[in-house]
Structure 1
Amino acid sequence: MVQLEQLASAHESLVELLRNMPRRVLAEIVCAAGGVSSDNIAEIQERTPSVEVSGLARAARKAAADLVLVVHTFDGKLLVIWIFEVQLSWNADKRWIWALLQAAFAAESRTDALVVVVAPSPRLRDRIRKKLMPQVAPPLLLLEPDQIKLIDDADEARRRPLETILGAVYHAREDSPFSLRVAGIRAALLALQTLDSASCRRYTVLVMSIAPTAVVQQAMKELRERGELDEGRFETFTEMEREGYSFNHGREEGRQEGRQEGRDEGREEGLHIGQLLTLRRALVDILELRGFAVSVGLRERIETCGDLETLERWYDGARSLAVDAPLDQLFDG
């Protein structure tokens, strides 16, 4: 059986979740983050996430965002371009990438363009808020948990599965009571059971990668006790419980290593390992989804890379690499 984590990365799963979210719900979230009303929004359309950027000292090149939505008013006018960027790891270079994307989409559309950053990790959001946001102009929007509803009702979870999953993921690592976070993940697991097989697998990766292990285990335990967990539908649940959840497993290894060496860096080291695992999987995923054949040699090079900045650079390049370009160009550039 193909490993679940090979089917979709957490990053790509979250991008896909945003893409498939009800447009009106997404609009309410973004408008709440920006402190504006959504009453004037009539239509929201997705457009290609790539844009050509003219260079001053070199030829124009393409830049790509995770998701781009075009917002229109009731009189048919273009209101704003929303540029969604999913962040699961730290990248200081994003200050330049986000500024570039905003300028490029604004120039192309002749309207305002706004980067909307989606980062489920509280620590990462805090770092972005303090170190990147003051340096990006025009200002960007950073989605916060209080703008995304946490759904814990079973019936509502089945009616609104994608909203339930997003809320559970975004609140899973907050300082809220453990029981509340468990309720959110429990509802997300019920929501997953309403989806088609491919979507269920993809979003399971997202939940298992981001939510703390203890929260997921308790939520699954409670569903089993109630007889509400469809074990047959989720063939990978038992395997993932046994082997651990990749992102959090990396964090735990870091904590254990830190305790053994008597250092306080264990937690940070665990986070670093988790980020490496996530980026490696995401890079292979996006290359294969775009139709590239990843050789054994290149796969080994990706899996042995221990530098986050290099992996981020490869990942950003993979999103905009021409489909007929040799893969060596990406890794040797």
Structure 2
Amino acid sequence: MPGEFHEILVKLIQDEPESVAWLLGRAGGRRGARCVAAQTRTGSVGSPGPTERRADGVVRLEFADGSQLLVVCEVQNEWSEDKYFRLPGYVSRAFEDHRIPVSLLMICRSDSLARRFRRGIEMGPGSTVAVETVGPSQVPELGSGDEPPTAAAAVLAAVLRKQPKHVPEPLFVSTLDAWLGTIEPGRAADYAKYLLTTLAKEPATLLEALMKTEARLYHSEYTEELLAKGREKGLEEGLEEGALRHARATLLRILEAGGPVSAERREAIESCTDLARLDAWITEQIPSAQG
């Protein structure tokens, strides 16, 4: 299964495909491009049919000299032999359909995985498909001065890095917070929720503390969502507790109608938190109550 790491990075590419030009440069590929077109993962590399191949993202870049490049983007959690042998098909089908040069860009969860894909894909003697790869060490630490071009790229860098090594954590987090403040609050809040579960403990704690200040619009969006969920959970818990109290009282009334209830039995009923069990006990007593 792809997992959350895969899904958030695919979403970042989908939201701001112009980030792919920056990623390609970080991987050592051609720099100075701008994004002129993009296809999301719902599309495919090639025409529909038995040979359809789906990529995580397909982005068309245009350079200052007018040349173009199609970038097939893949996000990879771990090594996969199956993916290794399918990647050349992505490239050949994209080249066939779009008739412009194609580059394969792998965004890898670890540097070791990036190095493995960077060797390329051997198709035969003297024939290797080149792979541009980006791992954690290829993206800058936020706050280092080497800043990404978009908010999505900043989030991607934070996801890959998780914790800075050469930048103070407060600077790392405040830079990330500033980037999140530049985009639509709802989208920023969604990114923040994922970051809180993927960053290292200290950066995550600092980010959560910043969001509670409500200094930015997305902070309010995040806290309002938490409050709404809390109210909803509280209502559900209140309804459940009310149902439990009613079921306990009903069962005790039925039992008391037939005579004294032992302290042990009363304690078992009053401490029961399983509504289905209480209902079953009530059902067991109904025939004797009607008799």
CA distance 1:191–1:110, shift in 2 (3 Å):
closer
- Whole-Å separation in 2 of the counterparts to 1:14 and 1:97: 20
Q: Can you give the 5+ residue segments of structure 2 that lack an aligned partner in the other structure?
A: 123-127, 230-291
1:217 to 191, 201, 205: 205
Q: Is the CA contact (8 Å cut-off) linking 2:76 and 2:107 kept in structure 1?
A: yes
1:275-299 alpha-carbon deviations (Å, 9 max, x no partner)? xxxxxxxxxxxxxxxxxxxxxxxxx
Q: Is the CA contact (8 Å cut-off) linking 1:34 and 1:141 kept in structure 2?
A: yes
1:169 to 154, 159, 166: 159
Cross-structure match for 1:207:
195
- Whole-Å separation in 2 of the counterparts to 1:73 and 1:131: 26
Question: 2:74 aligned with 1:64, yes or no?
Answer: no
- Whole-Å separation in 1 of the counterparts to 2:180 and 2:4: 16
Rg: which structure is higher? 2
Question: 2:11 aligned with 1:16, yes or no?
Answer: yes
Q: Is the CA contact (8 Å cut-off) linking 1:183 and 1:219 kept in structure 2?
A: no
Q: Is the CA contact (8 Å cut-off) linking 2:105 and 2:133 kept in structure 1?
A: yes
- Whole-Å separation in 2 of the counterparts to 1:146 and 1:129: 11
Coordinate RMSD, CA, aligned: 3.9
CA distance 1:93–1:213, shift in 2 (3 Å):
farther
Cross-structure match for 1:29:
23
* SS at 2:84 equivalent: helix
- Whole-Å separation in 1 of the counterparts to 2:207 and 2:215: 11
Q: Can you give the 5+ residue segments of structure 1 that lack an aligned partner in the other structure?
A: 1-7, 241-333
The 5 A counterparts of 1:137-176 are 137-145=128-136, 147-152=138-143, 161-173=151-163, 176=165
1:72-101 alpha-carbon deviations (Å, 9 max, x no partner)? 345655x32101111234433210222221
* SS at 1:81 equivalent: strand
**TM-score, normalization by structure 1:** 0.52
**Which residue identity lines up with residue 76 of structure 2 in the other structure?**
Q
Percent identity at matched positions?
17
**TM-score, normalization by structure 2:** 0.58
CA distance 1:35–1:9, shift in 2 (3 Å):
closer
- Whole-Å separation in 1 of the counterparts to 2:212 and 2:11: 31
- Whole-Å separation in 2 of the counterparts to 1:132 and 1:146: 14
- Whole-Å separation in 1 of the counterparts to 2:7 and 2:212: 32
Aligned length: 216
The 5 A counterparts of 1:276-295 are none
Q: Is the CA contact (8 Å cut-off) linking 1:19 and 1:67 kept in structure 2?
A: yes
CA distance 1:71–1:201, shift in 2 (3 Å):
same
**Which residue identity lines up with residue 148 of structure 1 in the other structure?**
V
Q: Is the CA contact (8 Å cut-off) linking 1:10 and 1:205 kept in structure 2?
A: no
Cross-structure match for 1:300:
none
